[in-house]
Amino acid sequence: AQTVTQSQPEMSVQEAETVTLSCTYDTSESDYYLFWYKQPPSRQMILVIRQEAYKQQNATENRFSVNFQKAAKSFSLKISDSQLGDAAMYFCAYREGSNYQLIWGAGTKLIIKP
Amino acid sequence: EAGVAQSPRYKIIEKRQSVAFWCNPISGHATLYWYQQILGQGPKLLIQFQNNGVVDDSQLPKDRFSAERLKGVDSTLKIQPAKLEDSAVYLCASSLSAVRGGNEQFFGPGTRLTVL
């Protein structure tokens, strides 16, 4: 069965610095998608970034970028120039190409120090 | 574009009581999901609808949980009777379709349920 592991329950970073959140997954599939979702204290879950497994190029969305290592089954999220509004729980999620269900990690709480 | 709406935002009940949650997905979204998120954990899918049909309810505790999506739009999730372990945030999400393509799921604000 597919699993998603986030080994860092909590991370903290100084405002304006860069932080990397880790995610590893286990799958035997070749066609899948990976996601990073952000859940601020208000609880509304929003999509931060998405990566298609067949794409070699790492996805980037403004200050957010991923390091997708397919062979190592690693999918880390890098946040550059951290801002106070980035404080939230970050969840890594996996979905097979032919399936609909998201498999979620346990989340990493990101704290931004002013 | 209006997002996914949920109500109520908070609910406190005694164990063995009943409770219902309501979700209105984004207009035009065929797929609707109900998740249970226990504090400190990632969301767990309870049930998924495609239009008004159930696609997956394998993790729904059917002895006490029920859900419906009449007319393929709004949905309600009911718990009867509630147990202490049902205390969680119940998230509703919707997407254009569940077909191949990694369609993004859009989430509502959630309902925080506390069972005393």
Cβ-Cβ contacts under 8 Å, A98 against chain B: 100
Of A50, A101, A104, the CB nearest to B42: A104
| pLDDT of residue A97 exceeding 80 | no
Q: What pLDDT, on the 0 to 100 scale, is given for residue B71?
A: 85
Q: How far is A6 from chain B (nearest CA, A)?
A: 10
Mean pLDDT of B55-63: 93
Of A33, A44, A52, the CB nearest to B109: A44
Q: What pLDDT, on the 0 to 100 scale, is given for residue A30?
A: 86
- Ranking A49-53, A99-103, B16-20 by mean pLDDT, the lowest is A99-103
| Best of B11, B105, B112 to mutate (most A CBs within 10 Å, chain A) | B105
| pLDDT of residue B100 exceeding 80 | no
Cβ-Cβ contacts under 8 Å, A52 against chain B: 102
CA atoms within 13 A on the CB side of A103: 19
What is the phi-psi region of residue A16: left when phi exceeds 0, alpha when psi lies from -120 to 50, beta otherwise? Answer: left
Could you report the per-residue pLDDT of A18-28, keeping only the tens digit for each?
Answer: 999 999 999 98
More confident: A53 or A96: A53
Contact (CB, 8 A) for B37 and B44: yes
Cα–Cα distance for residue pair A48/A111, rounded to 1 Å? 17
Band (pLDDT 50/70/90 cuts) for residue B1 is low
Cα–Cα distance for residue pair A45/A52, rounded to 1 Å? 20
Cα–Cα distance for residue pair B6/B19, rounded to 1 Å? 14
